[in-house]
Amino acid sequence: MRQSNFALRLQDSLLKEARELSKSEGVALNQFINVAVAEKVSALRTVDYLRERAARADIPHAREILRKAGRGHHPPPEDRLDPG
In tens, the pLDDT along 26-64 reads 999 999 999 999 999 999 999 999 999 999 999 999 999
Q: What is the mean pLDDT of the chain?
A: 91
Q: How confident is the model at residue 83 (pLDDT cuts 50, 70, 90)?
A: low
DSSP reduced 3-state for 82: coil
The answer for residues whose C-beta is within 8 angstroms of residue 40's C-beta and 6 or more apart is: none
pTM, 2 dp = 0.61
Kindly state the helix (H) or strand (E) to which residue 36 belongs, with its residue range.
Answer: helix 29-55
Cβ proximity of 18 and 30 under 8 Å: no
